Structure 1
Amino acid sequence: MKLSVRGIYSTALIKLLIDKGFKIVKPTRSQIERFGLTNLAVEPEAVISDSSDRHFIEIRGVLEVVNPLVVELKNFFEDLIVIWRMKDANNSWVRVGFPVDAKKKLDELRSMIAYTVPWHHYCRAGGEAISNMVSFAEDLVEKGLVPPEEMSRMFEEQVNQFTPRLKSRIRIVHVKLNGKRILLGPGKVIWRSDETIKILRRIMSSGVYDGLGIQKQVGDYAVTEARKLDVWTKTSYYSLSGNFKGAYYNISTPIAFYPDHIHYFDLDVDVVYLPNLEVKIIDTELLEQALNQEIISGKLFEKALKTADRICCEKP
């Protein structure tokens, strides 16, 4: 089973897939140096590349290679988001999303091959500036200019400062289980601690708040509370005069914080908190559908339901 692998996840994925019996063809110069690869001119049966937002990979190729490749990835990572776009014998296409925990396992794989800063793939996916910071730091270590332990300590400190700044304007990148990327905001950071922020957004349209069934009016505002690496956000809605309209808990994969945005994969199931103090879980059928379609694993399914149950009990 012959693969060509490109992109920010390539070193980690090649390490994993070679161990699983796949052959890497058409390697880059760095891949040749790191893995001693020799299949330079052989055509691949499947190609792995980054998606445009770098939180997914795209796999395209013949089904008899793509399918076992996806199976191996799902066996290794518990929290993958797997979206089949096309399933044809000669032309299959699947998108595989890497939440935070999967990125950490990718770091472990890469570190077996080359020096890898903490949060390597987390940062690689966070934008060009942060990605360049990774390259610069690892290059300093590889050239012997900074000891690995010292660089790892300094880099970890930098990542811990990624919490968006007070009064900055940021976006919420909300990725659905069908791969749709929804940008919420920009909103203003109105409260901040080391790992928690509150984001204020003004409501600019009318209608009904999804899940709450409550009238939405121009002039309303929403306050979203998010904690780094937590698995839910809470958005409280208020009228122009400040009257509480309801709250919406969005269950997700661990939330990634970057200087100008936060990112997570939405797991579809949610908890709503109504003005009459009623609390209920909604959209469990969407989560079940994702499980049945093998978009998510059974373990991720169970985690999402347990989180929803806990929120219902604790109302954080």
Structure 2
Amino acid sequence: FHHYIKRAGSEESQYVDLVEELYDCCSLDCVGQQLLKKAQSNVRRARQITLLHEKLSGETIKMKGDIKDISQEDVFTIVRTVKSEGIYDGLGLEKRPGDVIYTYICPGLPFVVHEYRSAGGTLKGYYININTPAEVFFLEKEKLNAYVWYVDLEIDIVRLKNEKARIIDAEILSGYCSRRLVGKDLYNYAIAVANSLRKHLERHADFKINPINLMRNFTLRTL
């Protein structure tokens, strides 16, 4: 948790520096857990959050939303309202102004769940992004706005009504691996995460899923 806590804010960064100086007489695992709780409690004060969606190409896409809820398991529910028309990438569904996107993120987990609904609340579909473990933090001067950063590993899962969950864009990740821009271990891990989530969704008969439960159960699963 060292890197994650150092990014959480200047106050937490100072705590980490102090612990590093006293490591001879402290249990670093225990102290690390306490510092992590402290960092996450500070983030809970934020009202908005900016997603820093970094691509393997180096491009970073910024998406800002309102924090609707933070569960006991530290799953962030983020809400964004669509303002333009178009087609949702990956889903292939029509995008309409007024649609609502619920994004679920849990610090440390290697995936992000996007739930798409119409303005009237009708569920359209799910898009699960596979990524490096998400890091949530805030800047000291922007305490009402938190940030979440991760690196998109290209491979994703799509779930539409009356269709089975399916993995998409695996060939893009494979291409990065072939060019040695992504290590074999990371490639295998991303594939394992995607397959694990797909199998879980296939066992779930209902179209509607509970993303918070999905994230809670994933932490108990061994890949």
Q: TM-score, normalised by structure 2?
A: 0.76
SS in 2 for 1:251: strand
Q: Aligned partners of 2:186 and 2:27: how far apart in 1?
A: 35
Q: Could you tell me which of 170, 188, 211 is aligned with 1:302?
A: 188
Instruction: List aligned pairs for 1:53-92, cutoff 5 A.
Output: none
Instruction: List aligned pairs for 1:180-191, cutoff 5 A.
Output: 180-191=59-70
Instruction: List aligned pairs for 1:41-60, cutoff 5 A.
Output: none
TM-aligned CA distance change 1:148 to 1:247, over 3 Å: same
Q: Could you tell me which of 155, 165, 171 is aligned with 1:285?
A: 171
Contact kept in structure 1, 2:5 and 2:35, CA below 8 Å: no
Aligned residue number for residue 160 of structure 1: 37
Cα offset, 1:167, TM superposition: 7.0
TM-aligned CA distance change 1:303 to 1:153, over 3 Å: closer
* 1:229 matches 2:108: yes
Aligned residue number for residue 73 of structure 2: 194
Larger radius of gyration: 1
CA RMSD of aligned residues (A): 2.4
Amino acid at match of 1:306: A
Cα offset, 1:148, TM superposition: 3.9
SS in 2 for 1:309: helix
Cα offset, 1:129, TM superposition: 4.9
Instruction: List aligned pairs for 1:31-180, cutoff 5 A.
Output: 119-135=1-17, 137-138=19-20, 141=22, 148-149=25-26, 153-163=30-40, 164-165=43-44, 168-180=47-59
Q: Aligned partners of 1:214 and 1:223: how far apart in 2?
A: 16
TM-aligned CA distance change 1:152 to 1:272, over 3 Å: closer
Q: Aligned partners of 1:165 and 1:125: how far apart in 2?
A: 15
TM-aligned CA distance change 1:300 to 1:204, over 3 Å: same
Instruction: List aligned pairs for 1:215-226, cutoff 5 A.
Output: 215-226=94-105
Q: Where does structure 2 lack aligned partners over 5 or more consecutive residues?
A: 139-145, 202-213, 215-223
Contact kept in structure 1, 2:67 and 2:76, CA below 8 Å: no
SS in 1 for 2:57: coil
SS in 2 for 1:271: strand
Q: Aligned partners of 2:10 and 2:70: how far apart in 1?
A: 27
Cα offset, 1:242, TM superposition: 0.2
Superposed CA deviations along residues 167-192 of structure 1, whole A, max 9, x for unmatched, are: 72112221111111222113323242
Q: Aligned partners of 1:207 and 1:264: how far apart in 2?
A: 26
Superposed CA deviations along residues 238-258 of structure 1, whole A, max 9, x for unmatched, are: 010001111100001112232
Superposed CA deviations along residues 33-63 of structure 1, whole A, max 9, x for unmatched, are: xxxxxxxxxxxxxxxxxxxxxxxxxxxxxxx
Aligned residue number for residue 270 of structure 1: 156
Cα offset, 1:133, TM superposition: 4.1
Amino acid at match of 2:62: L
Amino acid at match of 1:172: L
Cα offset, 1:120, TM superposition: 2.7
Instruction: List aligned pairs for 1:247-266, cutoff 5 A.
Output: 247-259=126-138, 260-266=146-152
Contact kept in structure 2, 1:166 and 1:192, CA below 8 Å: no
Percent of aligned positions that are identical: 27
TM-aligned CA distance change 1:189 to 1:134, over 3 Å: farther
Contact kept in structure 2, 1:166 and 1:191, CA below 8 Å: no
Q: Where does structure 1 lack aligned partners over 5 or more consecutive residues?
A: 1-118
Q: Aligned partners of 2:30 and 2:37: how far apart in 1?
A: 11
Amino acid at match of 2:91: L
| More relative contact order, 1 or 2 (CA 8 Å, 6+ apart) | 2
Contact kept in structure 1, 2:5 and 2:39, CA below 8 Å: no
Superposed CA deviations along residues 89-120 of structure 1, whole A, max 9, x for unmatched, are: xxxxxxxxxxxxxxxxxxxxxxxxxxxxxx33
| Segment of structure 1 superposing worse, 267-276 or 129-138 | 129-138
